[in-house]
Structure 1
Amino acid sequence: MTDGWTGGVVESIGADGSPTVDEWQPVTVPGRSGAFAADRDDGTIAYRATVPDPRERDIERALLELRGTYGRTRVWMNGTELGEHEPHFVPARFEFEPDAENELLVVCEPPSSFDGIYGTDEVPAETAMPGIWWDVTVESRPRTFCRRLDATPRLDGDGAAIEVDLEIDAGAALDDAVTFSVRPEGFRGGASMERTPVTAAAGERVTVSKTIEVRDPSLWWPRGHGPQRRYTVRAKLGGDAVEETVGFCHVERDDDGLVVNGTRVPARGFTRLPGGDPETDVERAVEANATIVRPRAHVPPREFYRAADEAGLLVWQDLPAIGPDLDVDRGTTLATTLAGEYGHHPSLAMYGVQDRPTDPFADPLGTGFLAKLRLRYRVWQTAVDHDAARTIADDFPDDRPVVPVTGAPGTDPDAAHLAPGWQYLAPADVDWLLDRYPSFGSIVTGFGAGSLTADVDPETVPGLDRAAPARRPNDVEDSQRYQTRTLKTVTEALRRRGCGVLTAATLRDPTPGGGMGVLAQDGEPKAAYEAIALSFEPVQAVLDGPPEPGSVGITLCNDTTDDLEPTVGWRAGTETGETSVSVGPLETASAGTARIPADADRIDLEVSTADRTVRNRYSL
């Protein structure tokens, strides 16, 4: 259904609630149209298409499903309003009485609250365009059919269960039984099958609930810590069936980070902005040695989660909430809805509520002693009320950790957004910052620097205006070089200091000209991508300070659960050195000192374990 769509800005709403559009123009659905970008802030957009009768027999039923209809959505078929729907990350399903040809009209209105990243200037206008973003299907269904299956996995001590809710539309009187089955996906394990009776009157919609016990459950693990075991739950009624894939994974958070299935798992990765192919984003994150991705203040499609489940990538899922104002009632409803829609995915490791309640550094600082004094003053004078965010956080299920507030120094954040080398101070001042404010180093998100990918006006690139004026890029090569050094410096300082959860900003640029991403908008790596992939290596040697002539310490970081005794070597110009180091699981250890001569142009580090050699490099 991607052909034949037209769209237009709604000029007025009639007395019967129907929209009026003065000019229709061709658009691509699903997708985001830049044609209406100027109307993003207050425009309501209508989309229409002609769809055929999907049925082969009159006894069958026609069902319309919309996925990713952003904003408050109202739907008409052949002039009859079928209903309205929100939020966009829950599929909208409508039954209709079809003619041979049917006019479908979908009207999307910008959300009045909880627009998250889409309500900011950090993404281009077309990315936030109200519309049908993900999918449209019109299909034939049996007279009585399985409308929706919700399967929620639960771990309880040594046992496990899957709580199943099956919604059934009974087109005729029903007296039958539903067959529920559970089968392991790609591994040997205990399958099961059970039958549950169901009765309904003609035209009734009923829900069948069932708790299915799973003996000796196989767990889903993050990549590098074990296999990604999952189970498929299937519900069958007559000739109709629906299924859902789930996984068992227990996540807790303490002062040192995440504990997954009883094992501490260091979380290193990226924030993610919307747009682009979600499966490719997961693939690129994994290739950069990431173990976690945070979709910042937006909800990605299920394809993102399916790919994360398969890859063993943890997901830190935010509510779409940025800024100071939180509607608590709306927020608690969204929290429950989000957990119900995505909570069966084992990759979902933690939730976030409110991002950047205020920005004390919207007016950036420079570097040096006076800048540090000004930073301390802004941190001291800034105050943020966390009550609304904590109230919403309490409404999430207690099976995952929740981060109520993510923000800059001064906002008393539960997860800190740090910007040394970008909005304030120098990149190497991250150590001073964390010495002064140790709590900021527990969970860190959103650090980094921006860069260009083309010769464009930096003022047109989202995110770059947040930098201190002296750092705003105006050259592709220089900006990418600076981004690489800044990201590497901050990432490796956080690893040296044992930060349990860190996500750099960001994985991919939102526009073709550049941004905060380590990938260009089209997915091509920037210089920073390879550098941060090296910094994220599970076993890696890093410098204790800037790569400058003189002596600098080396620290060996071990993110694995093994005791290691590798050899750590270094080379700078004609100088070399090597030492054997013992490092415990999830620990760091000193690996000696490197001597960098004045004429060296780079320093290379090398870690050799029993089964592989890992390198790290720095340009001087």
Structure 2
Amino acid sequence: MLLHGHWKATANYGATLDFTRIDFDDSGWSDAPVPGHWQEQPEFADYPEKMLFRKTFEHAGTAPGARSFLRFEGVFYACKVWLNGAYLGEHEGFFEPFEYDVTGIVREGRNVAAVFVRCERERDLNSKTQVLGVFGNWDCIPPHMQPGGIWGEVSLEERPPVFLHSPAVDDFQVDPDEAVFRARVRLDGLGGGAQGLRLEWTLSPFNFQGQVLEGEFLLDAVQAADPEASFEIAVPEPRLWWTWDRGEPNLYTLAVRLCGGAAEHEISLRFGIRTVEFKDWILHLNGERLFCRGSNYAPCDARLARADRDLCARDIRLARDANLNMLRAHAHVEPQAFYDLCDEAGILVWQDFPLQWSYAQSVEQSAVKQIRAMARLLAHHPCVAVWCCHNEPFTVMEAYTLQDLIAKNKWKDLFRLGRSMWFRNWNKNVLDLRLREAVREQDADRPVIAHSGIPGLLREGTDAHLYFGWYMGTMRGLDMMARANRRALRFVTEYGAQALPIPEHFRRMCDADKVSDLDWDMLEKRHMLQTNLMHKFSPPRADASVEDYAGLTQWYQARVIRYTNELLRRMKYNPCGGAVHFLFNDCAPVVSWAVVDYWRGLKQGYYALRDSFRPLLPMANMPKRWYPQGDMVSLRLFVINDLRQAFPGVTLRAAFVNQDGEIKQEEEQGVDIPADGALACGRAKWDTADAPPGAYGLILEIHGPGIEHPVVSQYEFELR
């Protein structure tokens, strides 16, 4: 029985618990939708941080011999729950479903569920107290948007006296002939012991044709004090789960039935058979190296109640079409539909725990409990490849860049930032290590990274966040860093630049025709535009149209994405194991690093991401924007192949052309492209002495045996 629809809600709460009584008069309260977020109601738009909710419903009462449970799929952020005046308990954490046994409390006829919900604004951004991740504060969600609400479904469920719950699979031992793993399931209601009960299980293919396996065993040895049954399943000739670019994302369904006497209950779990590990920051899937081509995924919507399966499915299709084999769930946990869809699409997930920047020490106990819950909730998904405990566990500054800190004479802030990044702090060296230990205890089958974005300068770092072309100077500084400290680029999980949404969507934020009419202050405060940096890298002309300026910002963003992707891919496995761009999607109406705006408009950066992440790709080191007429243009050539298949005896063609497509210089060479490798192919050179000033391009093409359609890349530059 779903308890969705209109609930009664108020921000006027007192010290008494009168509101929990069935006969309490809530006629003066507002109507609020559940699932939902209370700030969306006009009367709560200024965001009270604590709310009371009531739901009156009719019920037939618990059936004889059955048990009833009141279940919540998700609440932002902490709550206390009553039913018919009886206190059921409290819960903290936005992503974990929770439930209460209400057998004997729910009654025939009129019932009332009452909930107190708390979700506070984080005022001290370097000492946060709630595990909200990006929902607590982030430069891609406006600070006036707060998440509080009963965002998931609420239901009243009936179950038998003894029932199964919390199915899990782990401890995979995989070889080509056989895969062996452990299945576990917990039982509730074993007050009288498990004598006479048995489990029957069936393992069947979910998305392919194959053998169905079955088994059963008695539960006599299961004790009421630790009501968990575990059993081993051996799968002959297993069909492994692969990313879409390496094979098929094969999935199995494990159905477990409780039988014996009056007990009868069944649950199921969908999963995949695969192994995953990091070796020196190179991901190995089923024992094979895999270069990760990824992007950071923001919440499907900042209002999680809106994040339905259809919207998630649209995003996953866009990610697959952009040639991504990894998404990073950036400092948040998505609804289950997201992970189901990634399982089916063959897209890996780097799963962040919802911690971002700095927290108060009081958060430790709750964070440990919640990270264990995250691992339990998601561990059966084969798409989840990596756990990361904390994103950027260092001090938040008001200024965006090092130059800003120096210009504003913020030397104290600069010292605090450097100290928190490169030296010991409680978040990084105490909290994160405790979280890493907790998640390893829960799941030993995946790599666990204590924190993301710690530079490897004074000591061994982690994955890198390298905003060349935005925070860290020009994009070509990345090449200088690669020469100076190559290991710093061994796995890069953030890079990019802001760009305006497509013009028709940008007008929903700011209705202006000319750049001179734009309200820059409003765009910065309400839509997260970083004005100074935008103007630095995409200088606006006052007489330009908004459409033209949006195009300029998107052109620049696309250029940064392509430059970074191609440079990192040329370093494939030497030492770079992955390039995970920031950011794939907007979750709110903002100006951000995303290549897919909030209304799912595709920026130019999306196409740059797609094209530069093609699994088989000819490339050159990116030309300068212009060369003096008469210079020799000389560009290094490469072919990158992320596929298992080698391509021997193919042709690489390099042609310099003018803006009319006329060939000015052309060369061809035969190349043998190795499987899953990066191949240097010399240089393309053109003496421009006889060429007039103007627009030119370099076209690269590979064709030949095994390549169904020629693969083409094109670069543009000018002679002046």
Give the TM-score of the pair, scaled to structure 1. Answer: 0.88
Deviation, structure 1 residue 153: 2.8
* Alignment partner, residue 568 of structure 1: 652
Deviation, structure 1 residue 232: 1.5
Deviation, structure 1 residue 490: 1.1
Deviation, structure 1 residue 220: 1.3
Higher mean alpha-carbon deviation, 204-213 vs 237-246, is at: 204-213
* Alignment partner, residue 126 of structure 2: none
Contact 1:364 1:466 survives alignment (8 Å): no
After the TM superposition, which residues 249-268 of structure 1 pair with which residues of structure 2 at under 5 Å, given as runs? Answer: 249-268=274-293
Higher mean alpha-carbon deviation, 323-332 vs 81-90, is at: 323-332
* Alignment partner, residue 70 of structure 2: 64
Higher mean alpha-carbon deviation, 315-324 vs 273-282, is at: 273-282
Letter in 2 for 1:7: A
Higher mean alpha-carbon deviation, 291-300 vs 506-515, is at: 506-515
Deviation, structure 1 residue 57: 4.0
Contact 1:464 1:516 survives alignment (8 Å): no
Distance 1:613 1:547, change over 3 A: farther
Distance 1:38 1:447, change over 3 A: farther
Deviation, structure 1 residue 553: 2.3
* Alignment partner, residue 332 of structure 1: 368
What is the SS of the residue equivalent to 2:673?
coil
* Alignment partner, residue 616 of structure 2: 539
Letter in 1 for 2:550: V
What is the SS of the residue equivalent to 1:133?
coil
Contact 1:78 1:104 survives alignment (8 Å): yes
Q: Deviations over 1:346-399 (max 9, x none)?
A: 1110111121123688442569xx9xxx9x999977524242223322332232
* Alignment partner, residue 387 of structure 2: 351
1:7 to 6, 9, 26: 9
- 2:523 is aligned with 1:458: yes
After the TM superposition, which residues 77-476 of structure 1 pair with which residues of structure 2 at under 5 Å, given as runs? Answer: 77-96=83-102, 97-110=106-119, 112-122=129-139, 123-124=141-142, 128-142=146-160, 144-156=161-173, 158=175, 159-169=179-189, 175-185=196-206, 186-197=208-219, 207-216=227-236, 217-237=238-258, 238-274=263-299, 275=301, 276=307, 277-325=311-359, 327-358=363-394, 362-365=399-402, 383-385=422-424, 386-388=428-430, 389-397=432-440, 398-407=444-453, 409=455, 413-453=461-501, 454-455=506-507, 456=510, 457-459=522-524, 460-462=526-528, 464=530, 467=533, 470-471=536-537, 475-476=549-550
Letter in 2 for 1:496: R
Contact 1:569 1:607 survives alignment (8 Å): yes
What is the SS of the residue equivalent to 1:259?
strand
What is the SS of the residue equivalent to 1:485?
helix
Contact 1:273 1:507 survives alignment (8 Å): yes
Higher mean alpha-carbon deviation, 450-459 vs 472-481, is at: 472-481
Contact 2:281 2:490 survives alignment (8 Å): yes
Higher mean alpha-carbon deviation, 81-90 vs 447-456, is at: 81-90
* Alignment partner, residue 29 of structure 1: 34
Measured in 2, the distance between the counterparts of 1:510 and 1:401 equals: 28
Distance 1:49 1:585, change over 3 A: same
Size of the aligned set, in residue pairs, is 610
Deviation, structure 1 residue 505: 0.8
* Alignment partner, residue 514 of structure 2: none
Measured in 1, the distance between the counterparts of 2:564 and 2:156 equals: 50
Higher mean alpha-carbon deviation, 326-335 vs 488-497, is at: 326-335
Deviation, structure 1 residue 405: 2.0
Distance 1:479 1:157, change over 3 A: closer
Contact 2:325 2:348 survives alignment (8 Å): yes
Gapped regions of structure 1 (runs ≥ 5): none
Deviation, structure 1 residue 27: 2.8
* Alignment partner, residue 630 of structure 2: none
Give the TM-score of the pair, scaled to structure 2. Answer: 0.77
Distance 1:72 1:495, change over 3 A: same
Measured in 2, the distance between the counterparts of 1:84 and 1:473 equals: 52
1:477 to 548, 551, 565: 551
Measured in 2, the distance between the counterparts of 1:292 and 1:465 equals: 30
Q: Deviations over 1:395-425 (max 9, x none)?
A: 3223211222212646964011110111121
Letter in 2 for 1:587: G
Contact 2:358 2:395 survives alignment (8 Å): no
Distance 1:50 1:570, change over 3 A: farther
Measured in 1, the distance between the counterparts of 2:38 and 2:317 equals: 26
Measured in 1, the distance between the counterparts of 2:675 and 2:292 equals: 15
Deviation, structure 1 residue 58: 4.7
Instruction: Quote the sequence identity (%).
Output: 23
Letter in 1 for 2:136: G
Distance 1:234 1:54, change over 3 A: farther
Letter in 2 for 1:168: D
Distance 1:450 1:259, change over 3 A: same
Letter in 2 for 1:101: R
Higher mean alpha-carbon deviation, 192-201 vs 260-269, is at: 192-201
Contact 1:173 1:200 survives alignment (8 Å): yes
Measured in 2, the distance between the counterparts of 1:13 and 1:613 equals: 72
Q: Deviations over 1:84-107 (max 9, x none)?
A: 223332221123223423222233
What is the SS of the residue equivalent to 1:134?
coil
Contact 2:479 2:567 survives alignment (8 Å): yes
Measured in 2, the distance between the counterparts of 1:616 and 1:520 equals: 26
Distance 1:392 1:570, change over 3 A: same
What is the SS of the residue equivalent to 1:581?
strand
Contact 2:8 2:53 survives alignment (8 Å): yes
Contact 1:351 1:402 survives alignment (8 Å): yes
What is the SS of the residue equivalent to 2:219?
strand
Question: Which of the two has higher C-alpha Rg?
Answer: 2
Measured in 1, the distance between the counterparts of 2:15 and 2:561 equals: 50
RMSD: 3.4
Measured in 1, the distance between the counterparts of 2:34 and 2:227 equals: 32
* Alignment partner, residue 638 of structure 2: 555
